[in-house]
Structure 1
Amino acid sequence: MTRPARPVRLAPLDLLGLGLMGLRTRPAQAILSALGIAVGIATMVVVTGIPASSQADLLDKLTALGTNTLQATAVPNQDPPVRLPESALGMVRRIGPITAASAVGNTHTLVRRNDRTDPDDGSGLTVLASQLDLLPTINARIRYGEWLNPATAAFPTVVLGSVAATRLGIADLPAGQAAPQVMIADRRFTVIGVLAATPLSPDIDRSVLIGWAAARTELRFDGHPTVLYVQCEEPQIEAVRSVLAETIYPERPGQVLVTRPSDALAAKRATESSLSVLFLALAAVALIVGGIGVANTMVVSVLERRSEIGLRRALGATRGQIRGQFLTESVVLAAIGGLAGTGLGLLATIGYATWQQWPIVVPTGSAAAGVGGAVVIGVIAGVYPCVRAARLTPTQALATV
C-alpha cells in the first residue's frame, strides 16, 4: 500500500533565503519599513543612554560633596571638656564598611605671621595636629607646595588652609625661593604647602596643620584627637553612623557627636531611583509606529505577491511553508532595523556624552532590549500577513494573474 507523501520541511537556511528574496524584490519598501524600526530603537537607546550618562555625571558630582563622609567630635561646652580617646582612630578603622579614616587634634596654640605681631592675636586660626592620610579622607588637595610626609611630619613644618594662608599673608610658594615661616608658640615653623579650598570641611580652611609627631615634640600635644573624619561604603553609611559613637568612646558614647549624612546623599538616592518615564514612553510610541510600518509592508507584500503565492501553492508548497516564508521576512526586516537603530543610538549617545564631557554610559540593557524588541515586533507584525497569505488557495491566488 502506498503511503501518502509527506510535505518537505524547509531547512532554516532555505527559509531565510525565501525571506531575503522578498526584501530584495521590494527594496524601497523594505528600507522604509526598516527605517521606521531603526528610528524607534535608536530613540529608545538614546533616551535611556543620554539620561544615564547625565545621571552618572550628576552622581559623580554629588559623591564629591561627601555623600559617604561622616565627622565625629566630642560634645562641646562640657565641664570638664570631653577628650576623645587616643585609641579612637585605630578602633574606627576596624569597622568593616569604612574605607578611610583620619583625624586632627587641636593643639590649643596660636599662630602668628612673625615675632613682631601681637602674641595674643591668632587671627582666628586653629593649629591642628594632623594624620598623614587626612587629604584623601576629606577629598582635599594641595594648591601650592606639598603635603606632609613621614619625614616632614616629624619636623617643624606646616601646611596652611586656604583661609589661613590669606590671613597670614602667604599668597603662594614660589619655586626657588626660601619658604616662608610662621610663629607657633614662639617657635618658627616652615610653610611647605597651601591647601585649596575644602568646601566639605571649612574648619580645615581656617587651620594650620602640622604633623602628629611634630605636635607632640614641639607643642606638647597630648595625642587626643578632636575631630575624626570617616569615609565608608555609601549604602552602609547609616549603619556605620549608628555604631560610630560606641566604637570611638565605648565608656561614654553619649559624649560623642556624629554628624548626620549629607543632604547630598538624599539627593543622590532620589536621582538614582528616578526613571525617565516620559522618555521611555516616547520610545515605546516610536517602536509601535515602526511595528505598524512593518505590518503595513507585509500586508501590502501579501497583496502584491498573490500570484507568487498561488504559483508556489500549485507547485506543492504547504500553508506552513507560506507562513514561515512571510513570518521570516517580517522578522528579518525588523531585525535589520533593530540592529541599525541600536548602532545609531549608541553612536549618538557616545557622541553627545563626549561633547558634554560626561562619563560614557553605554546602555547595554537597552541595546539588547532594542534588538530583542525589534524581533518581537517583527513576529507580531508578521502574524496576520503570514496567516492571510497561507489561507489563499492556489485558484484564488492565480485568479489575479
Structure 2
Amino acid sequence: MSAGPGTRAGRRARAAPPVPRVSRADRFSAGDLLFEATTDLSSRPGRLVMTLLGTVIGIAALVLTLGFAHTTAQQLARQFNAFAATQLVAVPAQAQTGTDRSVTTGPLPWDAVERVQRLAGVQQAAVLAEVALPEGAAVTAVTVNDPSQAPAAPLRLFAASAHLLDTVEGTVTAGRMFDAGHDRRGDRVAVLGTRAAQRLGATRVDTQPSIFVDGVAYAVVGVFDDLAARAELLDAVVIPTGTARRDFRLSAPGEVQARIVVGSGAQVAGQTALALAPDDPDSVEVRAPAARSDLAQDVQADVNVVFLVVSGIVLLAGVVGIASVTTLSVVERTSEIGLRRALGATPRQIAGQFMTESVVVGLLGGLVGAAAGVTVLLVVCLVQGWAPVVNPLVPLGGVLLGGVVGALAGGFPAHRASRVEPVTALRGS
C-alpha cells in the first residue's frame, strides 16, 4: 500500500521537517575561535607576558620614533636659528682672469638698500663696508671725565647705513644707533661693538666719549652687543657711510645685508641680483639661507633612519618570539588538537584557532606598545618642556601593525597544527 496523504506514514512525513545538512566547517564560528583563543591565552599569563614583550617593545619604539620625529621637527621650527634663517648677503662677484686671479666684477650701487627693500620678502636691509685706515693710523678714545685718557687699540673700522642693527638683529646696550640724518649729513658719529668699547674704555655714553681715528674725532653715540653673527663687528668701530665717503673716500658699499622672511631665501636671492645689477645679474653673488623645511627634513630623516632600523629589529624579534611560543604551544597541545580533530574539528578550524591566538597576541602587544610609546613621549616632552606632537593615526597604526606581526608569526605554527592527525596525536598522548 502506498503512503497517501491520509495515511499514518503520510501524516508523519508531513509533520517531521527535513533535517538540514550541517557541514563541520560551520560548527565553529569566528566568535568561537576568538573565545577559545583568549581562554587559552588567559590560562598562561606568564607565557603571554613573555610573548608580548618583543611586540610591545617594537611597537613602542616605532610609535616613539614617529612621535619624536614630529615633535623634534616642531621644536626645530621653534628653536631654529632665526638669524641664520633670515639673513641674506649680496657682494660683488669674483671673476677669474687669464692669470687665474680673481677680481671684483663691479661695485655695488649706493642706493642698494632702497632697491633691495622694495623686494617682497625683505624685511630690512643695510649696506656695510670695511674702511681701510691710513697706514700707521690708530683708534683712540677720550672722555669728558678724563680727557687725558687716550688708550689706543688696533680696531677695525666699518661704515654702515642706519638700519644695520635692525638688519642683523643687534641690541643697543648704551646710547642709540646713528640714524639716516647722520648718514645723509656725514656727521662724525660712531657706535662701538661691546668688546671695542671695553678696550677703549668707552662703555658709557653719558660720559660723552669720543674716539679719534687718525686724529679725527668722532662722537660715540651708542654701544651694541648680542649679534647672532658678524661677530667681527663687536671688535669694531662703525660710522655712517656718508661720513666714510667724505672722510675716507669710500667708493662703494662692500656688501648688502638683508633680513628676509623665513623660507624666502631662494626667491629673494634671484631678485636681489637683478635689483642690484639688472644689466649683469651674474656680477652679484648672493648668499641666501636654505629653507627651514629642508634642514628640518634632513635632520628628521637622519634621526628616523636610526630609530626605524632599531624598531624593525625589535619587531623582528617580536615575530620570532610569537612564532616560537606558538610553535611550542602546538607541541604541548598535540593531544588537545587530536581530541578536537576526533570530535569533528577540521584542519582549517585548528589552523584558525592558532592563527587567531597569534593575531590576538599581536594586537594586544600593539595596543600596549602604542600606549607605552605615547606615554614615554609625553613624559619626555613634559620633562624637556616641549609641546608633544602625535599623529592620531600613529598609535592606531601601531595596534594594526601588531596584528600583522601576529599574523605573520602565527602562519607556520598554525599550518603545523592543522597537519596533526587525530589518531597519531591520541596514540602519542
**TM-score normalised per structure 2:** 0.64
In the TM superposition, 1:67-78 aligns within 5 A as: 69-73=87-91
Residue aligned with 2:84, SS: coil
**Equivalent pair of 1:334/1:375 in contact (CA under 8 Å):** yes
* Counterpart-to-counterpart distance in 2, 1:149 and 1:321: 88
AA aligned opposite 2:125: S
Residue aligned with 1:258, SS: strand
1:6-34 alpha-carbon deviations (Å, 9 max, x no partner): 44376655543332212101111111010
Deviates more, 1:285-294 or 1:194-203: 194-203
**Equivalent pair of 1:162/1:205 in contact (CA under 8 Å):** yes
- In the alignment, what sits opposite 2:51? 33
User: Does residue 1:4 correspond to 2:21, yes or no?
Assistant: yes
1:165-218 alpha-carbon deviations (Å, 9 max, x no partner): 2244244x6xxxx84434488675643x531254345236524477x9x99xxx
Structure 1 unaligned residues grouped into runs of 5+: none
Structure 2 unaligned residues grouped into runs of 5+: 1-17, 95-102, 134-138
AA aligned opposite 2:402: A
User: Does residue 1:84 correspond to 2:109, yes or no?
Assistant: yes
AA aligned opposite 1:181: Q
2:42 to 24, 27, 36: 24
* Counterpart-to-counterpart distance in 1, 2:107 and 2:331: 90
- In the alignment, what sits opposite 2:163? 131
**Equivalent pair of 1:125/1:207 in contact (CA under 8 Å):** yes
- In the alignment, what sits opposite 1:378? 406
In the TM superposition, 1:251-270 aligns within 5 A as: 251=279, 253=281, 256-259=284-287
Q: Which has the higher contact order (CA 8 A, sep 6+)?
A: 1
In the TM superposition, 1:249-288 aligns within 5 A as: 249-251=277-279, 253=281, 256-259=284-287, 274=302, 280-288=308-316
- In the alignment, what sits opposite 2:236? 206
| Residues 295 and 106 (structure 1), Cα distance of their counterparts in 2 relative to 1, 3 Å cut | closer
| Residues 143 and 95 (structure 1), Cα distance of their counterparts in 2 relative to 1, 3 Å cut | closer
1:34-57 alpha-carbon deviations (Å, 9 max, x no partner): 012223334555677779988988
* Counterpart-to-counterpart distance in 2, 1:209 and 1:322: 89
User: Does residue 1:181 correspond to 2:208, yes or no?
Assistant: yes
Deviates more, 1:36-45 or 1:321-330: 36-45
1:142 to 171, 174, 178: 171
AA aligned opposite 2:116: V
**Equivalent pair of 2:202/2:209 in contact (CA under 8 Å):** no
1:50-78 alpha-carbon deviations (Å, 9 max, x no partner): 799889889988846726633124579x9
**Equivalent pair of 1:104/1:228 in contact (CA under 8 Å):** yes
* Counterpart-to-counterpart distance in 1, 2:255 and 2:140: 20
* Counterpart-to-counterpart distance in 2, 1:240 and 1:151: 25
* Counterpart-to-counterpart distance in 1, 2:176 and 2:338: 86
**Equivalent pair of 1:62/1:268 in contact (CA under 8 Å):** no
- In the alignment, what sits opposite 1:230? 258
* Counterpart-to-counterpart distance in 1, 2:305 and 2:27: 46
| Residues 393 and 11 (structure 1), Cα distance of their counterparts in 2 relative to 1, 3 Å cut | same
* Counterpart-to-counterpart distance in 2, 1:10 and 1:231: 73
* Counterpart-to-counterpart distance in 2, 1:369 and 1:149: 60
* Counterpart-to-counterpart distance in 2, 1:279 and 1:92: 44
Residue aligned with 2:41, SS: helix
**Equivalent pair of 2:191/2:220 in contact (CA under 8 Å):** no
Q: Give the C-alpha shift of residue 294 in structure 1.
A: 0.5
AA aligned opposite 1:84: P
- In the alignment, what sits opposite 2:226? 196
**Equivalent pair of 2:143/2:202 in contact (CA under 8 Å):** no
| Residues 229 and 204 (structure 1), Cα distance of their counterparts in 2 relative to 1, 3 Å cut | farther
User: Does residue 1:103 correspond to 2:130, yes or no?
Assistant: no
- In the alignment, what sits opposite 2:323? 295
**Equivalent pair of 1:111/1:125 in contact (CA under 8 Å):** no
* Counterpart-to-counterpart distance in 1, 2:180 and 2:108: 28
AA aligned opposite 2:45: P
User: Does residue 1:165 correspond to 2:197, yes or no?
Assistant: yes
Question: Which of 1 and 2 has greater Rg?
Answer: 2
State the identity %.
27
* Counterpart-to-counterpart distance in 2, 1:293 and 1:68: 52
Say what the alpha-carbon RMSD is for the aligned residues.
5.4
Deviates more, 1:391-400 or 1:370-379: 391-400
Residue aligned with 1:71, SS: strand
**Equivalent pair of 1:50/1:352 in contact (CA under 8 Å):** no
1:114-133 alpha-carbon deviations (Å, 9 max, x no partner): 47588x9995433533227x
**Matched residue pairs, number?**
379
Deviates more, 1:44-53 or 1:372-381: 44-53
